[in-house]
Amino acid sequence: MNMIYGKGASGGIAAGILKIIRRERPAVREETCTDVTAETAKLHAALAKAEDELDLLYGEAVRKVGEKEAAIFEIHRMMLTDEDFVTEAENFIRNGHSSAATAVRKAGTALAEIFGAMEDDYMKARAADILAVSERVTDILGGCGGEEGRTITVTQPSVIAAHDLTPAETVMLDRKMVLGFVTEGGSAMSHTAILARTMDIPAIVAAGEIPDRYDGCPVVLDGNEGVLYVEPDEGTESRFAEAMREAEDERRRLERFRGKTCVLSDGTRVSVAANVGSLADIDEAMRCDAEGIGLFRSEFLFMGRTSPPTEEEQFEIYKQAALKTNGRECVIRTLDAGADKQIGYLTGDAHEANPALGLRAVRLCLAKPELLRAQFRALYRAALFGNLSAMIPLIVLPEEIREVRAVAKAAQESLQAETAAFGKLRVGIMIETPSAALLADRLAPMTDFFSIGTNDLIQYTMAADRENPAVAYLTRELPESVRRLIRSVCAAAGREGIPVSVCGELAADVRETKFLVEAGVTKLSVSPPGVLRVRESVMREASRLVPVSR
């Protein structure tokens, strides 16, 4: 038995055959150019194509790992427009007469070296992101675009080994085939490691050289301790087999909550629904026993294209969503573009100083009411086929609800004028800002339900960027200020008799289940794999909760 030591990046145990991935990349050559203008144009065309690729990758990542972890690809997209990076590359072309590909490599390497020399481990890890971005652009310049060429495939369930994995390669891993991974380089603070933890893939990083002769050998990967056992002896295999049996026992324990209903002692039902971004995700949510869809992110219908989806295209998607949920409620969030979800043909080329506080979500839709009207027409038509609701993001004022209601009414009237068939649609709003929370008593009579988006509510309340580690201490635990806002929102909803759900990451945090249910939340919407664990938590807490007075 041989042992390779690294750093545990994602906990868990994997046992199988080791598959070593050695990717052949084109040799880095110094290339020059004679036409600076043409080469600069090539650079900007490649940057634009890379932005489109990352938009698509962001959508895929949200479906697989959620909005928070998918934000890495939005960060990568922003790096493509970073003035330091772009200007440096342009200077290499202009002053050094480098080709666009050579200029991008040089600019990426120079910036990566700056980050790599920093003392802070998190900032050091960003060097890998810069190199991943520059590699993507040089691939495009070399005629190799898209994720197909970057996707790692294996033909049998395996533990994979590589020098390193990019975040894009990691999020595209086939979880059924990749049991775990070990990398020679990398960092436990890297986005690759963060994605591995989110995807529940046991992983080790910084393991040093892994000899090619180990390819095909049986291995056990211990992501908790950061050790790879090559050709493990009988005792080691037995010890880890027991640990894996315990993990399987936990899975079976959670299965006991399949089909269960959570009811408080006062008869209030608390449901556990799923957050999704595609029709395929709804299938997965139903397999995971979700009690409906608490958040369908419709913006992904708008991404990766050059114009908005037509009403008919949207209608077909929403109709299938309604049918797939089989009578359970399916809540469609209306277009939530802008901020971290830039859509070029809608948001334009203007770069807002602070896009999180700019023209986004309902603000963008009210500025382009034809978009919202078409979406409402499609939703009303699809509501004939199931239990559909619409949810409006980033409401901050009552006036916005009145404007949205006017657009919805115009959509109904236009369908009536055409004698087109349509169904009933409940319209709720997301509570994502302190303004909406503080005005909940005024907003409640104007809407059919509240859904608290805790990711943004925490960020806006604490004035702290969720992706900035320097201020992570402000959001590491649920702040008391946010707890008070959630309680007041639930109280206002209770007085008006409308339900409250939580669809942010807080819904999946079983440490906070008791607080949320006691506050008056009646629906928790989480990623599909978390449904049974959250239901277990609700049922455990429900057995000893004091009923919430309405």
Catalytically active residues are: 191, 503
For every residue of 123-176, DSSP letters joined together read HHHHHHHHHHHHHHHHHHHTT--SSGGG----SSSEEEEES---HHHHHT--TT
Terminus-to-terminus CA distance in the chain, angstroms?
64
Identify the CA nearest to 58 among candidates 401, 357, 428, 337. Answer: 337
3-state helix, strand, coil in the chain (%, to 5): 50, 15, 35
User: Quick one: DSSP state of residue 275?
Assistant: E
Residue 242: CB partners within 8 Å, gap ≥ 6? Answer: none
Return the closest-CA partner of residue 326 out of 295, 284, 282: 282
How many angstroms separate the CA atoms of 184 and 202, rounded?
A: 15
Question: What is the identity of the amino acid at 413?
Answer: E
CA separation, residue 499 to residues 27, 65, 184, 530 (Å): 60, 27, 50, 22
Q: Provide CB contacts within 8 A for 374, sequence distance 6+.
A: 308, 310, 311, 314
d(CA 528, CA 105): 40
Q: If we measure between CA atoms, which residue out of 409, 398, 320 comes closest to residue 362? A: 398
The residue type at 419:
T
Any idea of the CA torsion for 101, 107, 112, 114, to the nearest 10 degrees?
A: 170
Three-state secondary structure call for residue 328: coil
